[in-house]
Chain A
Amino acid sequence: MSGSSSSSTGGSGTRSDNAIDRRLRGLMARGEHALIGYMVAGYPDEHTCTDVALAMIDGGVDILEIGIPFSDPIADGPTIQRASYIALSRGMTPRKALEMAKVIRGSSDTPLVAMTYYNIVYRIGMERFASMARESGIDGLILPDLTYDEADDMIRVAHMHGMDLIFLVAPNTSDERLNMIASVSKGFLYLVSVYGTTGERDRFHEYTMDAIRRVKGLIMGRVPLAVGFGISRREHVRAMLDAGADAIVVGSAFINMIERSREDSKGRMLEGVRQLTYELKQATKQV
């Protein structure tokens, strides 16, 4: 049952499965860590968002996470809520977001992960969504409101299409549950760093580092460990990597950067995004 047994056609046929895993393990083999950058499709607008994605890739993200905006994003803080709201009010749709992914895939082989809420997938249909996503070059999928307990069908469909279904765990997830989730999460396991929603934070509590150490110990190399939510600074990145993370996810910091630059020219804004990506990527290289 491995590989794409579906009727899905399209350009991704030449691309083998496990692109995320291969990318992460390649970095880990060189003693490097990964930077995963998150952007909202349709933010700041339908056209510029593609340039933002390319600037992040140019700046050095190892994996690009594309947020498909949903009207009711309960796992997100004010920054991503606002960006999603703007994107939707300017006409972004799941289909357009996947078209954008296809454009990016056309000029880069950086693994692409779609992040959205379960209703978007449920409404379009799991099978249809997976097939559309794969055709657009999407390698993995994150659904923050689809828990392990409800995910049987989605796991099956994602597997059939050779797409990694990436699960989240939290600091309060029990060891027993963590073990079950780690054994089904493909690509990487996503540890939510804090009690809270997405959004930049000044500092992290010791419980975050404890959680990283605990999860790292429990997964025993089964799957790479990514940590995200609230991370925006080089010192955050360093602290999380030191505690045992294999990859760091940064999202709101990019959106805030774009928001702050709205008076600037597009070129300057994109340069800012590229620069921020570069700096964060450098932090993942330091030993």
Chain B
Amino acid sequence: MRLKHYPVDGKFGRFGGRYVPETLIPALKELEDAYMDAREDKEFKRDVEYYLKHYAGRPTQLYHAKNLSNAAAGAEIYLKREDLLHGGAHKINNTIGQALLAKRMGKERVIAETGAGQHGVATAMACAALGLKCEIYMGAKDAERQRLNVFRMELLGAKVNRVEAGSQTLKDAINEALRDWITNVKSTYYLLGSVVGPHPYPMMVRDFQSVIGREIRKQCMSMLGSMPDAVVACVGGGSNAMGTFYEFLDSKVDLYGVEAGGHGIESKEHSATLCAGSEGVLHGMLTYLLQDEDGQIMDTHSIAAGLDYPGVGPEHAFLKSVERVKYVSMTDDEAVDAFIKLARYEGIIPALEPAHALAYAMKIAPEYGRDASIVVTLSGRGDKDVEVVQQYIAERSVAG
């Protein structure tokens, strides 16, 4: 029960905390109080469960990927099918929970950040279903790259604000959402999309996502009769990974968090914050960051937009420091390779983000051996990435 006790006073060891302008302190306290209260409320729990089941489509299945396991020539690989949820990703687990909380707090306006658009779409869906006004901040560059997702959010009734500042990507969208919240602190609920930001967000988002790990455990017990040997998930901000790992923190199961190695760590074009970053403070939290020697935040790269973030959830930084989770990275090439393999062998097109986790699971499968079982959280489906992969293959065959 030790590791599951965190955060203590808003901190995971020395990580986490609240590094925000003073204006947000009362709002974060209000949010923390409201959440702690809701967490103990049977009616709130019932509402969350209702929407997760009837609206989002929980529980998701655990699928034994036999063909892929054979190809990897090692441990049996099981896929936690978060890609089958409404919206096509795990993001809805969190947006449903927080949108219900916003409603309970009497907030009429919800804001959120989005990178590639997954969290923005999931927020817009939850707000539409629950009758909340919704505004999404998205980096101008991301909005250009993901024009269809912008339209999707608009269809769902959200207003999309393009952020022209800084690098015009996810980190700038978070900055702008925080600025909006500072400005409209009384009326507005900030619905953060990952286990990042000031306390209580890393804890709260983890709690809403931890349904993933609870289901995995139950499903393993009934399908395998035992716990899995290893669990693997991809880490950008780290919400699907935290939701997957939390249930197993105080067990003996091996846990692997897979970051985006981009063009390789040595190329400096990657998003492998825990593998190659250093400690610092961004977006309200003390955590690992990709930063230069002066503390300026660096531009990151990954073929998977959802992993393309220069920070990481503080609980992951903590789990790295106590060596409970092993954090590794897989490159763009390795992720695309796994993406194609899963499509061919199992008829499942995964999102490029969990393709990183899949690539790593296939890599370690032989080391674990035939009798072992490895669970991979397939955090989203790959429809959004089909064009990116098509282009990637075309470029590679031209170059080759």
Which residues of A pack against B, CB within 8 Å? 70-75, 77-78, 81-82, 85, 88, 93-95, 117-124, 144-147, 149-150, 167-174, 177, 181, 192, 195-197
Contact = CB atoms under 8 A, between A and B. Distances in A.
Interface stretch (B20-28, B97-105, B328-336): B20-28
A122 B165 contact: no
Given A197-B179, A197-B183, A172 B294 contact: no
B356 interface: no
Given A81-B165, A177-B25, A150 B282 contact: no
Given A77-B179, A145-B281, A192-B22, A85 B165 contact: yes
Interface string B9-32: 000000001111111011100000
A81 B20 CA distance: 17
B281 A118 contact: yes
A178 to B, nearest CB: 10
B60 interface: no
B166 A93 contact: no
A172 B279 CA distance: 31
Contacts of A150: 17-19
Contacts of A117: 281
Contact of B166 (A85, A120, A170, A196): A85
A168 B18 CA distance: 15
B196 to A, nearest CB: 13
B149 interface: no
B21 A93 contact: no
Contacts of B22: 144, 147, 167-170, 173, 181, 192
Contacts of B186: 172, 195
Contacts of B182: 74-75, 195-197
B25 A72 contact: no
B297 interface: yes
A38 B364 CA distance: 55
A71 B185 contact: no
9 A-B pairs with the lowest CB-CB distances in the bound complex, closest first: A123-B295, A170-B23, A196-B183, A71-B296, A120-B295, A119-B281, A119-B295, A71-B297, A170-B22
A172 B23 CA distance: 6
Contacts of B21: 74-75, 144-145, 168, 170, 192
A120 B294 CA distance: 6
Contact of A74 (B179, B286, B295): B179
B184 interface: yes
Residue from the set A94, A119, A181, A192 with the largest chain B CB neighbour count within 10 Å: A119
B175 interface: yes
Nearest to B177: A74
A124 B295 contact: yes
A158 B289 CA distance: 25
Interface of B: 17-23, 25-27, 165-166, 171-172, 175, 178-179, 182-186, 278-284, 286, 289, 291, 293-297
A195 B184 contact: yes
A196 B22 CA distance: 11
Contacts of A197: 179, 182-183
Contacts of A169: 22
22 contacts: A70-B296, A72-B172, A74-B179, A74-B283, A81-B166, A85-B166, A117-B281, A119-B280, A122-B280, A123-B278, A124-B294, A145-B19, A145-B21, A147-B19, A168-B21, A170-B23, A172-B23, A172-B26, A172-B186, A173-B26, A192-B21, A192-B22
Most B-side CB within 10 Å, residue of A78, A93, A121, A172: A172
Contacts of A122: 279-281, 286, 295
Contacts, number: 114
B285 to A, nearest CB: 11
Contacts of A72: 166, 171-172, 175, 282-283, 297
A60 B182 CA distance: 32
Contacts of B17: 149-150
Residue among B22, B25, B183, B283 with most chain A CB within 10 A: B22
A121 B23 CA distance: 21
Given A71-B166, A195-B184, A145 B26 contact: no
A74 B296 contact: no
A285 to B, nearest CB: 30
A193 to B, nearest CB: 11
B23 A119 contact: no
Contacts of A85: 165-166
A38 B291 CA distance: 26
A74 B175 contact: yes
Contacts of A75: 21, 182
Nearest to A168: B22
Residue of B23, B26, B184 most packed against chain A (CB within 10 A): B23
A123 B292 CA distance: 9
B281 A147 contact: no
A121 B295 CA distance: 8
Contacts of A118: 19, 281
A40 B42 CA distance: 52
A30 to B, nearest CB: 31
B295 A195 contact: no
A252 to B, nearest CB: 14
B10 to A, nearest CB: 8
Q: Which of B21, B26, B289, B295 has the most CB of A within 10 A?
A: B295
Given A75-B182, A149-B18, A170-B22, A93 B297 contact: no
Contacts of A88: 296
A272 B224 CA distance: 76
A123 to B, nearest CB: 3
Nearest to A197: B179
